[in-house]
Copies of this chain bind each other. A is one copy, B any other.
């Protein structure tokens, strides 16, 4: 900090309040199409950074690179484990149109030998969600989910705070008792996981945080009696509307556990009962 001249007007220092999500998904343009990020260990599950969080970072960069700002449909392939710390995102525009644009992005980190390794590759089409018509004929119904106040927080786990993944501290996550049997050693053997999602610091949802929401719940694999890590091979998210303020309901289903892989289908419903996002991921068991 420099010394202010004695006669200068010293403006009060106003520190803008930035949410944890925005701070930890921020990107800085190094040059056109190339962005720097600092990935936060605050979004780790065990040793690995959460795939949805990483997708949000990549999506922010692509939204800067493309003339349209909202991801409509975005697919990520996770190549090798991404670690906390610096990362570079290199984008490539495939096509820019009047209503939508398409591009790719790769997230790179130093490989320890002076070079860089691509950790994640993304392909996405962006548009303007606010410009969509309000003709909504969704036939899907919101999930039957236990009211928020009756759901379990990760800290309600019998092991208490010691078993809470670091990322869970960034969230206000509430898991439906109907999909919590795994936490008590009694998995349901149904491929289902349901819960409420909000950010712990109260930041309201937006299209980028939806990309984190679809991958934030415990794995359906836990209810299917699987243990250990179930790494995501690929995750595709359709963002269909800007979410209304308030907590999100997330419902995840697995129906095809086979051959050492499983799919997780997630739906995200906002407080206005709108189906704002749908995703499917392929995970390895």
Contact = CB atoms under 8 A, between A and B. Distances in A.
5 contacts: A72-B261, A79-B95, A125-B233, A129-B259, A140-B255
A134 interface: yes
A123 interface: yes
A106 B135 CA distance: 34
A190 B133 CA distance: 21
Interface in A113-131: 118, 121-125, 129
Given A94-B106, A123-B121, A259 B132 contact: yes
Given A94-B121, A121-B94, A133-B260, A77 B102 contact: yes
A135 B19 CA distance: 44
Interface of A: 72-73, 75, 77, 79-80, 94-95, 100, 102, 104, 106, 118, 121-125, 129, 132-140, 190-191, 224, 233-234, 236, 238, 240-241, 254-261, 263, 275, 278, 280, 282
A263 B238 contact: yes
Contacts of A234: 73, 75, 125
Given A77-B94, A121-B123, A282-B73, A240 B259 contact: yes
A200 to B, nearest CB: 29
A256 to B, nearest CB: 5
A179 to B, nearest CB: 15
A257 B138 contact: yes
